[in-house]
A and B are shown apart, each in its own frame.
Chain A
Amino acid sequence: MVLKQLIPARPAAKRLAVVVGCAGLAAGLAPPSVLSAQSGKSARAASRTIGFVVTNWYNGFVLTPDAAECSLGVQKGEPLQARAQPGFEAYIRQFGGSYETRGPNGEMGSFNPDVVKDPLPWSELTTKTGYGLNLDGTQDGRATAKTCRHEKFTSPEGEMVDHQMARAIGCVKGYRGDGNQETNGAGMIVTSPVMRRLLEITGVDDERNDPEVTVTFYKGRDGLRRTGNGQKWIADQSIRVDYRFPQYISKARGKIVDGVLTTEPFRLVVPTGNVTFLIGEVDMEGTRLRLKMNGEDLSGVVAGYQDIDLWYMTHAKGVTSGLSQYNSSSIHKALYRFADGYPDPKTGQCTRISTTYRMTGLRAMIVHSEQRDRIKGIARAD
């Protein structure tokens, strides 16, 4: 429909070539929903569209060797909690079970965190330095209409920032640096169809400085490829938007200052996981981006208030609590103890927690087409 309006009639096969080859350049090829979001700038002939594919996405923690920033070192995971639980080891040796089934009725803490108690003490994150953005706008973390009182971090740049997720999981081995949750997550960007994330900037007049652009996250449909020797990502790959899942389209107003892209707060929802095991969603209200564009590359932070239930549900399924030293019940309690966003109007308990991810991206051609366009020659033939 859109193509027919914007492109002169030509043989069907030629038309397809236009879709694939120019989609990243011409805002005019984007679906109506994208066009409408570009406000007045969409009419400017010079405005361009820039696409990126996410190449890495990981927790933005400040880490020191041997977890020196954690009061008791890394958290004690489920196996150690099980050993410390009075009578538990003798019980499972007699009646069966595993270190994970510590509830009064044999429940796993991962799925039943309220009924499992961790006997070993919590290791507190003690560092005052953290990555993130000042999401609540305060310097002291006092309660506001949308936030609960909390302690702020000072970023390496000296900004007072919010990142309470670091307090909840920053001392869990699996989420630290080379922890298996982190490395699995990075690997899934390549291997998992679920983790294909695209970021598109539309209405760009000047890539270094532009006071008004539109930023959109999409779920991608196509895999990311490396060069032949596997050492580098290939830039400018054509990757289609996965329009089967409109719930994973998130849009924001932004600007570019000295090559740094920032946005106004928006709700970011992206799928996460792997088709062979865990599946979940990252759902962050009040999300803001600060991403530096440097030629083909993009890097920086994505920060917002993450839905605690969704986060926990995803990670409780995915962690191998032995390898990750994940202590389900304590983490669940910590997530709510440190929650600092979106208080429940009835109870006052915050339901979201400030979270900072670091991400990198690479230039890509984002293709806004129906899947059938890939079958040569039949695009829009009807």
Chain B
Amino acid sequence: MRLMPWCGIAVAALTISGLTSAGTSAPQVSAEPASQPALEVMTDDGPLLVTPEGKTLYMNNADFNTPGKSNCSNVPITTWQDTQGDFGKLSVLHPEAQKACTDKWPPYLAPANAQPVGDFTIIERREGGRQWAWMERPLHFSIRDTKPGDRFGAVFSRGVRRGWAFASRDKPMVGDLRLMRYEDSIVLSTSDLRPVYTPTKAMVRRAAICGNCNEEFKPLVAPLLAQVKGDWAVVGAGPGRAQYAFKGKPLFTPPDTLTDQEIVLAGDWEPVVFYKGKGRPGAIGIGPSLLGDVYTDADGMTLYQFDCTAGGVSCADPGDPAGYWAALCGLAAQCEQRWPLYRAEAGAKPRGEWTIVDVPVPLYTDPRGFTYPKGVPTVKAWAFRGEPVYRHYRDKKPTDVRGHWTQWLGFSNLNAIRVPGRGER
């Protein structure tokens, strides 16, 4: 029997299958059999599949409707179709250097004697070789990940970046709850990706004053005899009703009339954290912008990131054509002036998804050449999920987002980095 502090009603905490949060900042390996080609681990991006060596696995969105088949080819795509300008088929920049999908997303190959196990099957690749698939979807690595534990190929729980997502299972939990990224943590959410909430301590204190002060927040109702286990419980929600609770916190769904940002700013309700992230360094802030909350530098100025896709693969990696940058901001010196790197101070320490990387200055010497030229001095810069971050010269006040959506349609862009789960609605 557990006494729930919110309602003062003692209820039975019974058993049901469901995820249990790790509750720590270190990834936890689940107790999957070692013979499986991948394990599910809890990370700052939710429960993800990794190899037994800890390398993160990814799935191609293009494979979603073609079970058992890989759409990631080892042949580079060097042309694109210009429909707006009506020029027909045109070449990508530097077609001779264009990378194939498998160059950027190496397949997770299975040994010759490997056998299917559980949800893991094996597909034959067109160019030869056997590849692990999970629930019929081929598994890949990202070249952005250089060591076990890196997760730079995709973003956020169930998020898609450049057409790729982490290999993860959308696992409904009790009350049809899901997991979603919220700032640096994983929180419980409704099926339409809104966090569920629990009253803050201040709100609980106020409850004595205002009575039923949660009337716009609906209890996540549970059958009175629902069976739950672990961190989950069923607590009373008034006469004849029960609601789910997680780690002793009663769960409520928010009203449509309030945005999540508004709710949190009010300070009376907080999202229910399933997995606490590692936070961010002191050099990185969060502030409200017209886009919703964005990440900022230490002075509150908005941080931006470069993104690029050509021939179906990223063109934002070191050594990709500089022309994708030059289209937006011209010669390297001009780009540097318009989009200054957010340099890391000496002694700065990485934290969470914020790391420190070496970036050449200038980023390229020839706008018709390639980025990260050899023999160019480098500086230490802050990086979000492995990629350097920039400020914009037109931003004058904290959280201005004047640089947002600087884009070459269909190829490259620079966008403000939004805080997960804190968008404007």
Contacts and interface: CB of A to CB of B under 8 A. Distances in A.
Nearest to A280: B402
B124 interface: no
Interface stretch (A93-101, A144-152, A284-292): A93-101
A277 B257 CA distance: 24
Contacts of B92: 96
Contacts, number: 159
Contacts of B95: 96
Contacts of B91: 92-97
A376 B212 CA distance: 9
Contacts of A125: none
Interface string B259-271: 0001101111100
Given A112-B330, A193-B424, A371-B262, A320 B409 contact: yes
Interface string B240-281: 000000000000000001100011011111000000000000
A99 B405 contact: no
Contact of A111 (B210, B258, B328, B368): B328
Contact of B210 (A278, A310, A378): A378
Nearest to B215: A376
A111 B93 contact: no
Contacts of B374: none
A333 interface: no
B409 A100 contact: yes
The prevalent SS among residues of B at the interface is: loop
B226 interface: no
Contacts of B331: 105
A317 B407 contact: yes
A264 to B, nearest CB: 26
A168 to B, nearest CB: 20
A323 B91 CA distance: 21
Contact of B326 (A13, A106, A275, A375): A106
Given A106-B326, A107-B326, A247-B397, A98 B408 contact: yes
Interface string B401-419: 1101111111100000000
Contacts of B209: 12, 381
Contacts of B410: 98
Contacts of B86: 79, 322
B360 interface: no
Interface string B187-210: 000000000000000010010011
Contacts of B290: 193-194, 245, 271, 273, 275, 279
Interface in B358-373: 367-368
Contacts of B93: 95-97, 106
Contacts of A281: 402
B85 A98 contact: yes
Contacts of A194: 290, 424
A142 interface: no
Nearest to B209: A381
B268 A372 contact: yes
Interface string A362-374: 0000000001101
Contacts of A271: 290
A310 B425 CA distance: 24
Interface residues of A, number: 54
Interface in A60-108: 78-79, 82, 89, 92-101, 103, 105-108
B394 interface: yes
Nearest to B415: A277
A245 B423 CA distance: 16
A44 interface: no
A322 B268 contact: no
A380 to B, nearest CB: 11
B323 A317 contact: no
A97 B402 contact: no
B216 A375 contact: yes
B323 A101 contact: yes
Contacts of A95: 91, 93-94, 368
A92 B93 CA distance: 9
A279 B213 contact: no
Given A275-B423, A279-B290, A322 B329 contact: no
Interface string A329-349: 000000000000000000000
B288 interface: yes
A103 B323 contact: no
Nearest to A78: B85
Given A279-B405, A374-B262, A12 B330 contact: no
B90 interface: yes
A89 B89 CA distance: 12
Contacts of A108: 327-328, 408
Contact of B87 (A99, A278, A374): A99
Interface in B305-320: none
Contacts of B268: 372, 375, 378
B53 interface: no
A89 B258 contact: no
B291 interface: yes
Given A93-B90, A275-B290, A323-B84, A378 B206 contact: yes
11 contacts: A95-B368, A96-B90, A96-B91, A99-B82, A105-B367, A279-B291, A371-B265, A375-B263, A375-B268, A375-B269, A381-B209
Interface of A: 12-13, 78-79, 82, 89, 92-101, 103, 105-108, 111-112, 115, 193-194, 244-245, 247, 271, 273, 275, 277-281, 310, 313, 317-318, 320-323, 371-372, 374-378, 381-382
Interface of B: 82, 84-87, 90-95, 203, 206, 209-213, 215-216, 257-258, 262-263, 265-269, 288, 290-292, 321, 323, 326-331, 367-368, 394, 397, 401-402, 404-411, 423-425
Given A95-B94, A107-B326, A313-B402, 17 more contacts: A12-B210, A78-B85, A93-B90, A95-B93, A96-B91, A97-B91, A97-B93, A98-B409, A106-B367, A107-B330, A108-B328, A111-B330, A310-B402, A317-B406, A320-B84, A322-B84, A323-B84
